[in-house]
Amino acid sequence: MDRHGARQAWRVNSEALLNGINQQCPIPQLIIDKAHRVVFWNRALETYTGIRADEIAGTRDQWRAFYPLPRPIMADLLVDEDVEALPRWYAGKYRKSKLIEGAYEATDYFPHIGKSGTWLYFTAAPIRDRDGQIIGALETLEDVTERKRAEEALQDAKAQSELYLELMGHDINNFNQVGIGCLEIALDRLKLPEEDRKLIAKPLEMMLESSKLIANVEKIQRIRTGEMKLAPVDLGQVLSVIVARYRQVPGREITIDYVPVRGCEVSANELIGDVFDNLVGNAVKHSEGPLTISISVEPVQHEGKPYVRVTIDDTGPGIPDEIKGRLFTRFQRGATRKIGKGLGLYLVRTLVESYGGSIAVADRVKGDYAKGARFIVMLPAYRR
């Protein structure tokens, strides 16, 4: 066989191989020529549309696979180099391909495909000859119905959750406030024995915790939606407010060792007080008798960036090792048998991480959890 014959044989074999690859490709695809005639309709597209290749080849009926009436598909528009017509047929649904020059892609709903309609993601690309002239176009299809329905279900669920949050944050909280007000008046005005006062004080405590839980849910939602923007916050001032709040707890002997810091700014927002209110408040709530809390603040470098490390030690009952790993997850109750309200430490972690920081828990005395807990909060220092 001479060189010309070998080249011809190679070309024939290559074309056969390419055709075989395209036919076996699991992605439905079609090719039309410059005259808009179907020249290729692979088996995957046959299976998907129910239209045989030998039935549609040579025709301009490619629209039949997608529409009830004649109209151009995206490949038709590219063959005609009529990109300006894309908005007419695919308004708000198409965009340029990031992978193929001159190609476009779109996602659209086809109510006439399937029993309850179908969502298709399709890409069309022009086919050019050696001189760069368009001689046809290729279009590929992908059924994304399940993905779109999952996205719609997710959107519905999101809308439902926002409705429940609004209901909880407004209506239920209003009910709580009425109940809290009445119970507080009852405790103030009614001359009751101490045992009877407890019957009012306990539900009052629970209603206050319920309102706090609702507030925490709202805060987490604000964080998740990106509503809370970061700004410089005077950490020393925040800590001074928290220390003043817990130094005078009725019926408790509490010592808080804290040397006020000045000029220490971190990148955070108005909710940063909740971080330290939860950590100090938990130390008080989950302990009995005398309690000492130590708070230290120091600038540190972490991965080449300036941070502020806040360490909070307490002499409470401590946190067992088996609980430490899940302490900051939702609805974890902590180390004691007291009722867990669920979101306090989860809110702490969510807030700290939203600032670009981190939080960890350890033993105050290494290896002996029963001598108290240590919380280490790392916050990005604000750089002007």
In the chain, what percentage of residues exceed pLDDT 90? 63
Residue type, 15: E
pLDDT of residue 338: 43
Q: Which residue has the higher pLDDT, 18 or 148?
A: 148
pLDDT of residue 4: 53
- The CATH number of domain 3-143 is 3.30.450.20: yes
Q: With 70 as the cut, is the pLDDT of residue 256 above it?
A: yes
pLDDT of residue 11: 52
- For the chain, the residue count is 384
User: At the fourth CATH level, which superfamily is domain 229-384?
Assistant: Histidine kinase-like ATPase, C-terminal domain (3.30.565.10)
Confidence band for 25, pLDDT divided at 50, 70 and 90: confident
Render 27-63 in DSSP notation, one character per residue. S-EEEEETTS-EEEE-HHHHHHH---HHHHTTSS-GG
Lowest mean pLDDT among 76-80, 100-104, 246-250, 280-284: 246-250
Confidence band for 138, pLDDT divided at 50, 70 and 90: very high
pTM metric for this prediction: 0.54
Boundaries of every domain in the chain:
3-143, 145-227, 229-384
pLDDT of residue 10: 45
Q: With 60 as the cut, is the pLDDT of residue 19 above it?
A: no
Residues 137, 103: Cα–Cα separation, whole Å: 9
Short-list 257, 22, 35, CA closest to 140: 22
pLDDT of residue 2: 58
Read off the DSSP letter of residue 381.
B
Rg (the chain; Cα; Å): 34
Q: Which residue has the higher pLDDT, 168 or 8?
A: 168
Confidence band for 8, pLDDT divided at 50, 70 and 90: low
User: What residues pair up with 267 in beta bridges, in sequence order?
Assistant: 232
Confidence band for 384, pLDDT divided at 50, 70 and 90: confident
Q: How far, rounded to the nearest angstrom, does the alpha carbon of residue 87 sit from its chain's CA centroid?
A: 32
pLDDT tens digits along 304-317: 999 999 999 999 99
User: What residues pair up with 107 in beta bridges, in sequence order?
Assistant: 121
pLDDT of residue 334: 47
379 neighbors 298 (Cβ within 8 angstroms): no
CA torsion 175-178-179-181 (nearest 10°) is 150
pLDDT tens digits along 82-120: 999 999 999 999 999 999 999 999 999 999 888 889 999
Residues 281, 94: Cα–Cα separation, whole Å: 54
Confidence band for 333, pLDDT divided at 50, 70 and 90: very low
Residue type, 47: T
